[in-house]
Structure 1
Amino acid sequence: MQAGDKHYTVIVSLDGFRWDYPEMYSTPFLDSMAAHGVKAVMKPSFPSKTFPNHYTLATGLYPDHHGIVANSFWDEQTRRRYSLGDRSICDDPYFYGGEPIWITAQKQGVKTATVYWVGSDIPIQGQHPTYYERYTQTPRLTYAERVARVVELLRMPEEERPQLVMAYFEDPDHDGHVYGPHSPETRQCITRLDVLMKELWEGIQTLPYKDKVNLIVTSDHGMTEVSPERILPVASRLKPEWYERIDGDLPAMIYAQEGCQDSIFRALQGMRHGRVWKKQDIPADLHFGSNARVGDVIVVPDLGWLATDQFKSHPGTHGFDPEYSDMQVIFRAQGPDFKQGYEARSFRNVCIYPLLAHLLGIQPASVDGNLDEIRDMLAR
């Protein structure tokens, strides 16, 4: 590709944006993207949580393969608990396997930028994107400032300009959790985000090379309703001497004491409204269980249920099997490299990394995703 033919790609993740929010609520801009570009439903990876899936989008690897197997988990090798709420731990590059797209790109001379994307402010393989924001630096950019920052990055002189910009927005996840996916508050949040995406696209249209910019809007996971009446007690069914710890409720990962895996499994087996597996027997379609950080026994609740002895959740949550439609997410794309008015079939989110590599014209690393799964949405 000649320098003058260079295309640029902006990918935005709206945390917790369920695939059917545009059907439930008014989203004129996202509807316009579907009319003028590509519309699809994207399946997250298991578990359908924020950190595992944002890092999957960046690496093209299932959480089981890149190592961020949940928002929190136990690492036996270092005897440490990873938690997204503990920056002293989750900022350690040790936990992050795979090769994020910004590293792949920069190895091949392509500049990149991120605005709060998971993992991008951590020196993975000793590297950061060319331009990035530190999530721990406060005050964080407002949503309007993030939109302005993306356009500002694209206005840089060509020799300094990033060819890929990845931007993260915490909503509508917050309102989906606090008020539930079917609520006036979530409706208002969706409306605000749609306006922001419209402003981002309008900002792109002010660029002298506007016809060379692709915009992708997607998410990490969906959202569903939960309630105190739908819980699956775990700890109360087990003898304390059988396990070292239980982490999470979606899934609940039980780290067994030596020789106690079978006892734990037998005590939980046959649980209504949930599935229980020994680590080595987790079904292949979940792509989960080979990593040392996965618990020895896992409990995966049915949609709307939580594996916990005490309800501590908001009305909405996520983490369930990605086959549940409530966990699946929006995908919109428009620009020179995408077909117009095209509705693609649903696809796995591990395919985003090979898609970005293709759009950047770079050689991808070996990953779990496959460009052929989504090649039909491309204009060329």
Structure 2
Amino acid sequence: MKKFFILFFLWCTGLSLWAGKHYTVIVSLDGFRWDYPQMYDTPFFDQMAREGVKATMIPSFPSKTFPNHYTLATGLVPDHHGIVANTFWDPERKELYKMTKPETRNNPAYYGGEPIWITAQKQGIKTGNIYWVGSDIAVKGQHPTYYHVYDQKPRLTQTERVAKALRLLKLPEEERPQLIMMYFEDSDTYGHSYSPHSKETRRCIEELDGLMRYLWEGLQSLPFGKDINLIVTADHGMATVSADRFVPIKHLLKENWYTLIDGNLPAQIYTKPEYRDSVYQALQGLEHVRVWKKEEIPAYLHYGNNPRVGDIIVLPDLGWLVEEGTQTLPGAHGFDPTYDDMQVMFRACGPDFKKGYEAPKFRNVSIYSLLARLLHITPEKTDGSLEEVENMLIP
């Protein structure tokens, strides 16, 4: 009889634990501005706001794709995790890191911190990942349990990515990932190519809204659909730029003063040490830009301590570019994240989120803490905090 009660207790305990197990799917729509649901027809994102949580999220500086996706994964600002821009000079390796250059992009030595998928797996939780920055790189010698190599062709289409996520959640429970992270690039592509204010971008945003509804309905159709949280957010926003708002700088600098000028938003100037002050002084008085020595970058940007950051930073005002040419794409990002145009949509619904709640604006470094809380795991130390986002959770 005693043995029966012990077995019964263990069975009940296991059933209780299973009943309380929640899954989380987080989606990043690259370049998805916070106000796209106001600008365009997005009935599903409106539904998420009514049935869950809506908020505006502030990206980290610079408001670029690789730095911010890796910030979302690690909870660290780019200055601390090391991916300080989409391209940058690494003085230790004496090479130019480029997100489009396989030799550097795929080198784990560039990626600091600990992505949430590693934190989860260390604590016994399986994870699935579809194209999130860093997931196909062996950070700390590990990958997510399930992942896709971004450069492998043919790349999964948008609907194939949704189908893959649903297949992962249909695996037997012991093989099933409890966290799935998904990436979609189209809103960034259209925002760059046509500007955030265009009929082409409108069509893209409205199609993504439909795609997210398709994902949600697929999640809800699963036997444990009521136990799944869905988060939809982004890495950065998008601003309109034009060729009549350029700030050229090369004509003010002597070529022997610097080794590299990289980027236009911001422009990072890697100077020769003896000419650092010369470069800085030559750029004083320019309109529509702010010029800093790296150690003088304002504290609120949390940038400038990493050796990969340029010696001089030239950050243009919203809508301007540090550019020498005569042509540019109509949309751009990388600006000061306090500009509204750089901030992003956040929507979340599911068993752990409040209903019809508008959360205060928060920083993207706290997404890692939010995911750790949803997974009931112990987080690593980060630049974010659970306190910044726990208001959106059911107590």
The TM-score range, normalised by the shorter chain, is: over 0.9
Could you say which residue in structure 2 is the equivalent of 1:364?
379
Separation (CA, whole Å) in 2 of partners of 1:214 and 1:272? 47
Aligned 8 A contact 1:236 1:309 in 2:
no
Could you say which residue in structure 1 is the equivalent of 2:8?
none
Could you say which residue in structure 1 is the equivalent of 2:70?
55
Could you say which residue in structure 2 is the equivalent of 1:166?
181
SS in 2 for 1:172: helix
- Alpha-carbon displacement from aligned partner over 1:214-239 (angstroms, at most 9, x marks no partner): 00000000001111111111211101
Runs of 4+ in 1 over 2 A off after TM superposition: none
Q: In the alignment, which of 266, 291, 302 is matched to residue 287 of structure 1?
A: 302
Q: In the alignment, which of 357, 368, 374 is matched to residue 353 of structure 1?
A: 368
- Alpha-carbon displacement from aligned partner over 1:30-55 (angstroms, at most 9, x marks no partner): 00000000000000000000000000
SS in 1 for 2:186: coil
Taking only aligned residues, the RMSD between alpha carbons, in angstroms, comes to 0.8
The offset of 1:4, in angstroms, is 2.9
Separation (CA, whole Å) in 2 of partners of 1:168 and 1:23? 22
Could you say which residue in structure 2 is the equivalent of 1:233?
248
Separation (CA, whole Å) in 2 of partners of 1:343 and 1:308? 39
The offset of 1:312, in angstroms, is 4.7
Are 2:115 and 1:97 equivalent residues in the alignment?
Answer: no
Taking structure 2 as the reference length, what is the TM-score of the superposition?
A: 0.95
Separation (CA, whole Å) in 1 of partners of 2:199 and 2:224? 39
- Alpha-carbon displacement from aligned partner over 1:199-257 (angstroms, at most 9, x marks no partner): 00000011111111000000000001111111111211101111000010111000010
Could you say which residue in structure 2 is the equivalent of 1:245?
260
Are 2:328 and 1:335 equivalent residues in the alignment?
Answer: no
Could you say which residue in structure 1 is the equivalent of 2:291?
276
Amino acid at match of 1:170: E
The offset of 1:5, in angstroms, is 1.3
The offset of 1:374, in angstroms, is 1.1
Amino acid at match of 1:47: P
Higher share in helix: 2
Q: In the alignment, which of 195, 204, 218 is matched to residue 219 of structure 2?
A: 204
Are 2:275 and 1:260 equivalent residues in the alignment?
Answer: yes
Gaps of 5+ in 1: none
Separation (CA, whole Å) in 1 of partners of 2:257 and 2:106? 31
Amino acid at match of 1:159: E
Separation (CA, whole Å) in 2 of partners of 1:158 and 1:5? 14
The offset of 1:85, in angstroms, is 1.2
Are 2:87 and 1:82 equivalent residues in the alignment?
Answer: no
Are 2:87 and 1:68 equivalent residues in the alignment?
Answer: no
Are 2:194 and 1:175 equivalent residues in the alignment?
Answer: no
Are 2:112 and 1:119 equivalent residues in the alignment?
Answer: no
Task: State which drifts further: 229-238 or 22-31.
Answer: 229-238
The offset of 1:310, in angstroms, is 1.7
Separation (CA, whole Å) in 2 of partners of 1:327 and 1:244? 30
Amino acid at match of 1:237: L
Could you say which residue in structure 1 is the equivalent of 2:229?
214
Counterparts of residues 369-380 of structure 1 (less than 5 Å): 369-380=384-395
The offset of 1:87, in angstroms, is 1.4
The offset of 1:3, in angstroms, is 2.9
Could you say which residue in structure 2 is the equivalent of 1:148?
163
Aligned 8 A contact 1:255 1:296 in 2:
yes
Aligned 8 A contact 1:33 1:334 in 2:
yes
Could you say which residue in structure 2 is the equivalent of 1:13?
28
Are 2:87 and 1:110 equivalent residues in the alignment?
Answer: no
Task: State which drifts further: 311-320 or 11-20.
Answer: 311-320
Separation (CA, whole Å) in 2 of partners of 1:40 and 1:242? 45
Task: State which drifts further: 233-242 or 327-336.
Answer: 233-242
Q: In the alignment, which of 22, 30, 51 is matched to residue 36 of structure 1?
A: 51
The offset of 1:270, in angstroms, is 2.1
SS in 1 for 2:231: strand
Task: State which drifts further: 124-133 or 225-234.
Answer: 225-234
Amino acid at match of 1:138: K
Separation (CA, whole Å) in 1 of partners of 2:286 and 2:162? 47
Separation (CA, whole Å) in 1 of partners of 2:251 and 2:74? 38
Task: State which drifts further: 227-236 or 41-50.
Answer: 227-236
The offset of 1:313, in angstroms, is 2.6
Could you say which residue in structure 1 is the equivalent of 2:13?
none
Separation (CA, whole Å) in 2 of partners of 1:75 and 1:311? 30
Change (3 A) 1:285 1:151: same
Amino acid at match of 2:214: E
- Alpha-carbon displacement from aligned partner over 1:62-121 (angstroms, at most 9, x marks no partner): 000000000000001101101111112111001000000000001111110100000000
- Alpha-carbon displacement from aligned partner over 1:304-327 (angstroms, at most 9, x marks no partner): 000122245300010000000000
Amino acid at match of 2:119: T
The percentage of counterpart residues that share the same residue type is: 63
- Alpha-carbon displacement from aligned partner over 1:103-153 (angstroms, at most 9, x marks no partner): 000111111010000000000000000000011111011100101111111
The offset of 1:269, in angstroms, is 1.4
Separation (CA, whole Å) in 2 of partners of 1:171 and 1:323? 24
- Alpha-carbon displacement from aligned partner over 1:164-221 (angstroms, at most 9, x marks no partner): 0000001200010000000000000001100000000000011111111000000000
Gaps of 5+ in 2: 1-15
Aligned 8 A contact 1:231 1:308 in 2:
yes
Separation (CA, whole Å) in 1 of partners of 2:231 and 2:184? 13
